[in-house]
Amino acid sequence: MKKRQLGKSNLEVSAIGLGCMGMSFSYGPPKDKKEMTALLHAAVDRGITFFDTAEVYGPFLNEELLGDALAPFHGQVVIATKFGFDLNPNFDPRGIKGAPGLNSQPEHIKDAVEGSLKRLKVETIDLLYQHRVDPNVPIEDVAGAVKELIQAGKVKHFGLSEAGAKTIRRAHAVEPLTAVQSEYSLWTRSPEKEVIPTLEALGIGLVPYSPLGKGFLTGTIEANAKFNSSDFRSILPRFTPVALKANQALIELLGGIAKRKNATLAQIALAWLLAQKPWIVPIPGTTKLNRLDENIGAVAIELTPDDLRDIDRAASAIKVEGARYPERLEKMTGL
């Protein structure tokens, strides 16, 4: 597995990471722990060293899964986790009953980190993200709290998730950021306008989540697909029948290139991301070994400048139908 460095930091990880959320959360009921442990071990065996989780995934179940499964590999892998939600008993992590509560008060951050350290069974968190920007807490206070945790040896690297360019600059001025996590793929290109140029200027890595469009860019979701209420996609505007039908044009674009390259649609979507910048590390999620192998195969695919121009030209003519999130959740992104 090829390695990449996240920005100008000294954090080197596998060129593709593994998003672990779906093992415990958001895409139906939690999966079998033994099966997911075997998948995590298979990922390590195949050279993946970068694993993404968060306290809210479950809540807590995903961190516990990774803590148990990756304990034999301490020192060999990088585990990223996140803080930033108020996990009270009435908390609704998927926002189905309304927007989930944010909490990035410095004391709450420190409490969250203590919990994550125990669940992950580590003495230091490799990469700690603020999960969503909290408009009630100045980002300087958040960065200051993480700075103290780094000085205390409890955290190694600081990151933000779904933050806008101004917030990134303000946080970075207090405690240098190693990575920013944003949704980025061929059907979500909003980071290209301000976030990516800001990261390039500051020497910060980009970790695209949902690099396969929550499964859409694999070409396996039919236009008339229905999603169970336990599946997060059931509330997303981009996954309504009308939007799924309209967005099939992207699948046709990827399919044509995949045929030419003797690859799958998912591999082309990931290879496109890897070709954008050398400091981009996507974290596709999966619960299946064959999909893990397929995603890893994207690292070996070379897209030429002509390929990339063709993709950009064709993609720019396609209008993606449907918002990423319902309005109440969209308000929590890009602050």
Annotated catalytic residues are 57
Distance CA 278, CA 205 (A): 9
- DSSP per-residue codes, 235-247: G-GGGSHHHHHHT
In angstroms, the CA 166 to CA 335 distance is 8
**135 phi/psi in degrees, rounded to 5:** -65, -15
Six token digits for residue 255: 């399919």
What is the enclosing helix (H) or strand (E) of 251?
Answer: helix 248-261
Q: Which tokens sit at 264?
A: 């799958």
Annotate 33-69 with DSSP letters as a single string. Answer: HHHHHHHHHHHHHTT--EEE--TTTTTTHHHHHHHHH
Half-sphere CA count of 162, side-chain side, radius 13 A: 21
Enter the tokens of residue 195.
Answer: 């976030």
Rounded CA-CA distance 148/150 in Å is 5
Cross-strand bridge partners of residue 205 = 179
Q: Is 123 exposed, middle or buried (0-12, 13-18, 19+ CB in 10 A)?
A: exposed
Residue 292 and residue 38 in contact, taking contact as beta carbons nearer than 8 Å? no
